[in-house]
Amino acid sequence: MSSQYVKFFIHLFFFLNYSLANAHDVVTHHYDNLRSGWNRDESFLRPSNVSSKEFGLLNKVDLDDQVDAQPLILNNAKIDNKTFQIVYVVTESNTIYAINADTGQILLKRTLGNPVKKPFGCENSGANLGINSTPIIDSKTNTIYVMAYIKEPSGNVFRLYALDVSTLKDRTPSVIVAGKAKLEDGTEVKFDPAIQRQRAALLLNNNNIYAAFTSYCDQNRARGWLFGWHVDNEKIILPFDEPGLMNRKLANNNMLLSTIWMSGSGIASDQKGDIYFVTGNSDSRAYDEKINLSESVVKIDSSLTKVLNFYTPDNYEELEKADLDFGSGGISLISINNKKNLAIAAGKDGNMHILDQKDLSRLAGAQIGWCNCKISWYVRNKIIHIISSGKKNLESWLFNSELKSDNLFSENYIEINGKGLDNGGGFFTTVSSDNNGMNAIIWAINKDEDRLLLMAFDPESNLNQIFEADAGIWVNDMANPNTVPVVSNGKVYVASYKQLVIFGLKN
């Protein structure tokens, strides 16, 4: 047998054994409920092989519409009693796909209903609005939960579906989102699906499913709602009696009402099950720490009835007046020891705020550039590496695991040259490495006119760029591609306009 074949079989044997031992499912936005953006089980992809000719495009899969949600991945999933590595992708036409990650073959496909055509002409969405948020998978029950926006004869509705991952059939009847809450004057306000948008990724936390709601281009007096449902006996979904409402004031016609947007990033939860998110703008005269938490990081209990803590930047009035939403970026939680854990958020003004999870007091901060983006982080040698991606800037910050307030500093910085990267400001990143933070790679999506580029950087080599390739297109210049590159089991997935692209090692 030639040395070439020996090398091939050694490589194949290593890959198969790696796959079985280290397969990493991606069941939620940014990998975990902390929204870390860190896949710490990726031992196969390393800077040395990603930068080589071995790494590149494997498959392209045609889809029926724009994708705004992050793909999810199950390794060793079964369909028709056959085992596959499956990537689940949802589109704005309310279609969910189950795709063979090895071949690109569409194994299952289901459309949940007619999407709504560009509500109120809002340009920060595509032509259709259907499944706008990232679903969640409960791998214990093999259920994927999906929120669809559907045009029905009675009007527009949001439906929460519980689907079997092996068939995409309903495990239980879908639930229509509905609820009401009391305002400060004692009157009630009802949730109105005609004026609300469900953009932030879903959260599964202690058998509860949570979904946050925002507005269409700050129009029509939409409010910041947070709904929760309890999964009973792994089948029946029961809505909570009282949803969380971030603005309990009466709505004036010109008042914006503290919605939860976060550029599609997920609501987060800590180890205790408490929930974190960031709100957008309201009105500088309407901010009230008891009944209108605009421009704030909010920590709320899992029953959605009690705000535990909140953090509002000192310049909130400036943010309100200039439409510089703090809530344009998502939140990341860092929980690595019992001393002090962090919450990190940044918004349109580019200020990154590092907070103590316990009371949301500010520990440190930095200027990272306009952020319709999301912080990622990983740990190596007890040092927390915080990856920021505001405007065109990719930056690595160091924070000692002792979590002192005076030791945040920039380690490496690079400006990515892309004509469209700062369209709206910022981009999403993820990090892959082994469990010790070794062989780390930072993955990012660059928008260059109507093209999306997958880029990879070596954080241990001054953010040296090690890979770049076309990864799809983006046709709406008014809608930011909040596209998240997803790494799992030696492959990288990018979903965009009518397409899923899969990268990996070719040999």
Structure tokens at 459: 């954080």
Residue type, 103: T
Note the pLDDT of residue 504: 96
Could you tell me which CATH number the domain at 3-505 has?
2.140.10.10
Q: Are strands 106-111 and 497-505 parallel, antiparallel or unpaired?
A: unpaired
Rg of the chain taking only CA atoms, in angstroms = 22
pTM here is 0.92
Q: Model confidence at 12, in pLDDT bands (50, 70, 90)?
A: very low
* Angstrom distance (rounded) from CA 184 to CA 181: 10
The three-state DSSP-derived secondary structure of 157-170 is EEEEEEEECCCCCE
Note the pLDDT of residue 90: 98
Note the pLDDT of residue 7: 42
Note the pLDDT of residue 260: 94
Residue among 50, 255, 228 nearest 147 (CA): 228
Per-residue model confidence as pLDDT tens digits over 21-43: 456 899 999 999 999 999 999 98
Per-residue model confidence as pLDDT tens digits over 134-158: 999 999 999 999 999 999 999 999 9
Q: What residues does each domain of the chain span? A: 3-505
* pLDDT for residue 58 is more than 90: yes
Residue among 286, 205, 186, 302 nearest 244 (CA): 302
* Angstrom distance (rounded) from CA 171 to CA 328: 34
Q: Model confidence at 471, in pLDDT bands (50, 70, 90)?
A: very high
The alpha carbon of residue 136 and the mean position of all alpha carbons in its chain are separated, in whole angstroms, by 11
* pLDDT for residue 434 is more than 90: yes
Mean pLDDT, range 401-427, rounded to an integer: 56
The DSSP bridge partners found for residue 501 are 60, 494
User: How wide is the angle at C-alpha 450 spanned by C-alphas 260 and 453, nearest 5°?
Assistant: 80
CA dihedral 138, 143, 144, 147 (to 10 degrees): -110
Structure tokens at 317: 């009035």
Structure tokens at 16: 């198969």
Q: Specify the higher pLDDT residue, 235 or 62.
A: 62
Per-residue model confidence as pLDDT tens digits over 305-343: 899 999 999 999 898 888 889 999 999 999 876 567 899
* Contact status, residue 261 vs residue 288, Cβ threshold 8 Å: no
User: CB-side exposure of 393: number of CA atoms within 13 Å?
Assistant: 18
Tell me what the pLDDT averaged over the chain comes to: 87
Q: Model confidence at 103, in pLDDT bands (50, 70, 90)?
A: very high
Q: What percent of the chain shows pLDDT beyond 70?
A: 87
Per-residue model confidence as pLDDT tens digits over 251-302: 665 566 789 999 999 999 999 999 999 998 887 677 888 888 999 999 999 9
User: How wide is the angle at C-alpha 138 spanned by C-alphas 136 and 144, nearest 5°?
Assistant: 50
Mean pLDDT, range 380-404, rounded to an integer: 82
